[in-house]
Amino acid sequence: MDTPSVFELEPAAVHWLAETFEDETPQHALLDSLAISADAQPTSRGMQRPTVGQVSRPLVDLLSEQKIGEIVEDVVAAYPDLPIPPEPGRAQLRAIDNLIHQGT
């Protein structure tokens, strides 16, 4: 069975996944940054936050490839050996998924 992409998860699940990694790891930093950024997106786009009984949207719907690229750039500045391409796009998303899946 294939493991789902990090980007198919809603921000709360990504926050939880971040906590499964040690605080000082690149996986924790990357997941936490993605989740925090995704949490901030609905209010900045004029959308209401999900309430009880509503389904939250996955990262892929909340974050643009450009925004993900900016997050990666920040995390790579702190962890320069990360095997994630600097250019936003599918290769970058796959590399993030690979990094997370290898660490779990």
* pLDDT tens track for 27-59: 999 999 999 999 887 544 444 444 444 457 899
Domain of residue 53: give its range: 9-103
Tell me whether residue 1 is in a domain.
no
What domain count does the chain have? 1
Tell me whether residue 4 is in a domain.
no
The verdict on pTM exceeding 0.75 is: yes
Tell me whether residue 2 is in a domain.
no
Tell me whether residue 90 is in a domain.
yes
> Exposure pattern of 56-88 as b/e (b: 16+ CB <10 Å)?
bebbbebbeeebbbebbeebbeeeeebebbeeb
Tell me whether residue 18 is in a domain.
yes
The whole-angstrom separation of Cα 98 and Cα 60 is 16
